[in-house]
Structure 1
Amino acid sequence: MILIIERFTVDAPPAARGWIDILVLIPALLYLPLLLVNRNWLISRIGLPIYTAGLFLFGVLGIGSSVINLFSMGPGFQTSCFICGLIALGYLGKTKIKYLVWRIRKAATS
């Protein structure tokens, strides 16, 4: 919601608004695996790592884009991207990130 509000209230270059649109779509698409798991259409050992990896990517992209001031997005967008990235990574926490790394290593060795 933070990104959506920023998208419509801050005057920014078109490229920066396009980046915010992409960042808004990522969480929306991340909930699809969760919905499929909840409806038993997708097993949780596949859906939950997809969600966790996507949320981690969202957090890293949000923080990274704010630090490098991607597309000259201005201080309002920079702050919003940074805060959303921190929220995403904070939600994952240390335990889920360790689990994600363990799953990636397991998949790489098999």
Structure 2
Amino acid sequence: MYDGLPTYLRELDLSPREMRKYIIGTMSGLDVSNTPFLQGARAMSLYFGNTNEANMTAFRQQVLETTVEDLRGLADVIEKVLQDNHIVVMGSEQRIKEAEQLFDKVSNLVQ
């Protein structure tokens, strides 16, 4: 499914306008309306993601500063991950423990 991704990234050629559109699209997913429900969901997500507003602010800044060269630079990393054939599963701790024999390694990402 992702085998062509490294080549795609290496050959990526976006105009400044196209890059701005991608950045705006990414930012729109980060900066959503702040209804009380969404504020609570965001707080819970930050807590379980072991992060905070300072990290999110830094992440937003990184998104805003992303260049086509940054995206092309991901090609080697993605190629290595694909070569190593890593598979990651996220889910219920109980369900993963029930199927633990299927995995080489099980790690708890939230502590």
After TM superposition, the score normalised by the length of structure 1 is 0.30
After TM superposition, the score normalised by the length of structure 2 is 0.30
Higher relative contact order (CA 8 A, sep 6+): 2
Structure with the bigger percentage of helix: 1
The structure that has the greater radius of gyration is 2
